[in-house]
Amino acid sequence: MEAVQLWAGVAFSARGGNAEALLNEAAAAGLQLAALTPQPGGFDGRCAAWRYRKLAALARRQRVRLRICRRRGWFFRLRPLLRRRGLWVGLALFLPLVLGSRSLVWTVAYTGLTPGQQARVSAILRENSGLEPGARVTQQALADGEGKRWPMAGVLPGEGFAARGMVRFGYASLTAEEDSLLFRKGEAVPAHEFHHWDCTDPGDGFLAEKATGRSWPCAVATDRLYAGYPHFHFRANPAFARRFYETCLKERHTI
């Protein structure tokens, strides 16, 4: 089958009239008839579907009877689907849902992965979705994307849940409310939040404030712990690294 007929072609029969004159006129018009086979009283052939109408006009001039024997090509296979309005309405509604769901993390199964592969998966989740490995398993419970509640370790208060988009996205300034592992009361540091999950008790150890004036309490801080959605770099205040190191030395000697 010719390339053009892979999309839309017709097989036809031509009988009666002046069939030879029809062939000459079709060749002069560039209709590119194919698979021409002589038959009693005429011939059979094939052509591209969009050229058949012009061929039919030439056939009427020569009093040749044309009849379509078979339609072939992808156009005729897809045409019934193109006429179904419900199908296209469904695609218009469903396609945005599919595209939007690509950014959601429904479940993560580590079964069969090596420790190195698990670390790589955790890094990808952290970089692309803001999911910190272990951040939610330490809470009291975790609600999955279908709303089912799963018990967690209960080290931290609150329950984690999937939000409907970005939560408190952007840069902010963190100010410590009390002394803790890394901070002293009143110390501030630039931080950033980027996550699609939230929790019922995000903590109140710090006050986060944007340049727009919006503020909210966040993070859990003790003399041995910092746990919260805002993340920052130790270079913002080298004292953080020193305090962390000193606390590690102290805990090492008490074990």
List Cβ neighbours of 37 (8 Å cut-off, separation of 6 or more): 43, 44, 45
Q: Which of 113-117, 133-137, 144-148 has the lowest mean pLDDT?
A: 133-137
Q: CA 204, CA 183: separation in Å to the nearest integer?
A: 14
pLDDT of residue 58: 92
Q: CA 194, CA 50: separation in Å to the nearest integer?
A: 55
According to the per-residue pLDDT averaged within each range, which of 69-73, 155-159, 214-218, 248-252 is highest? 214-218
**Ramachandran bin of 161, using left for φ above 0, alpha for ψ from -120 to 50, beta for the remaining angles:** beta
Assess whether pLDDT exceeds 90 at residue 133. no
**Beta strands 188-193; 149-151: pairing state:** unpaired
pLDDT of residue 112: 61
Please state, for a pLDDT cut of 70, what percent of the chain lies above it: 73
pLDDT of residue 186: 95
Q: CA 172, CA 213: separation in Å to the nearest integer?
A: 10
Assess whether pLDDT exceeds 60 at residue 153. yes
Domain borders along the chain are 3-78, 132-254
Assess whether pLDDT exceeds 90 at residue 136. no
Band the pLDDT of 217: cuts 50, 70, 90.
very high
Q: Does domain 3-78 have CATH number 3.40.50.150?
A: no
Multiple choice CATH, 132-254, 3.40.50.880, 3.40.309.10, 3.20.20.60, 3.20.20.100: 3.40.50.880
pLDDT of residue 9: 87
List Cβ neighbours of 225 (8 Å cut-off, separation of 6 or more): 180, 181
**What average pLDDT does the segment 159-171 reach?**
79
**What average pLDDT does the segment 39-65 reach?**
90
Alpha helices in the chain, H assignment, sequence order: 3-7, 19-28, 49-61, 74-82, 85-101, 115-129, 239-254
**What average pLDDT does the segment 97-103 reach?**
58
**Beta strands 188-193; 170-176: pairing state:** antiparallel
Assess whether pLDDT exceeds 90 at residue 176. yes
Query: Which position has the token pair 């955790």?
Result: 122
